[in-house]
Amino acid sequence: VGSSPGHKTDRTPSVAVKIFSAGSAGCVADLVTFPLDTAKVRLQVQGESGLSPKGQRAGHRYRGVFGTIYTLVKAEGPASLYSGLVAGLHRQTCFASVRIGLYDSMKELYSGGTQHAGILPRLLAGCTTGAMAVAFAQPTDVVKVRFQAQSRLPESSAKRYSGTLEAYRTIARDEGLRGLWKGCLPNVARNAIVNCSELVTYDIIKELILKYGLMTDNMPCHFTAGFAAGFCTTVVASPVDVVKTRYMNSVPGQYSSAVHCALTMQFKEGPTAFYKGFMPSFLRLGSWNIVMFVSFEQIKRLVVRLQRSCEASPGPA
């Protein structure tokens, strides 16, 4: 993810620039891909108690990515696709900033400051920043998932939460502070996997593309590496992601732990339950990674150019 030596016009961005760029790029990517994420969550929670064996809720079922989006728009209105967006942006502001913005610093720390880090320092860096990010952003993730999962059909039961801040307050009041960090352990596991798959894949593929001169360090290179990172991440992280979504969306007492949630899914729905919502996950993670990494690289360069022009400007006489 770090700056490439082949790009001569930009100096190495500071840690602060990387943190700001990562948080901003994460928000941009969420704005673009949030409907796909909502479809993924709705598909993942099908099969829980309260749904029919065929996955029906309130007289309808979700079929496929675009079928789910169509059903949501038709039954609940276009706004349902962005339910939980505010919490999602809260999440990216602190989550992406830490896990992506600090990746290069951690990679340098684990590699002893060498220019070309091996695979192990990259994996350790991904695990470290992923776990750190969860510690900051878990409450926002819980609220986001619950907003996306709740049904807003007129004939359904009352909404669990009417607004983002009200959701934080309600969860803290009814479930305690532990409720805001519900699913923290499976989320740590998920984000260690996601970070390693996403950042390390992007880092290595981008490095190889530049090393062999296949592309220059510009948008086509960032697009290609981001797409590959999204695919690898989806394949590896989907089972943990489904368990995380189910567990965080569950009512108190439904599951005693994330392991209990996973075992319940295995016994009641079979192994295919762990890959529910795989296609929206891939569409979402693939597109999210492309938008995020392209935005991240461009925002970094823009901020560095602004810094350079400010430094070059003559001071007041």
User: What are 281-307's pLDDT values in tens digits?
Assistant: 788 788 999 999 999 999 999 999 998
Place of tokens 């610093």: 105
User: In this predicted structure, what is the pLDDT of residue 239?
Assistant: 87
pTM of the model: 0.76
Q: Is residue 87 a contact partner of residue 167, using CB atoms and an 8 Å limit?
A: yes
Cβ atoms of 94 and 172 closer than 8 Å: no
Residue 257: per-residue pLDDT: 86
CB burial class (10 A; 0-12, 13-18, 19+) of residue 243?
buried
The per-residue pLDDT for 236 is 83
Whether 94 and 133 have beta carbons less than 8 Å apart is answered as yes
Closest CA to 31 of 100, 88, 76: 88
pLDDT for 151 equals 58
List the chain residues with pLDDT less than 50. Answer: 5-6, 8-9, 49, 51-59, 152-153, 155, 317
56: helix, strand or coil: strand
Alpha carbon separation from 138 to 179, 221, 226, 244 (Å, rounded)? 10, 32, 25, 11
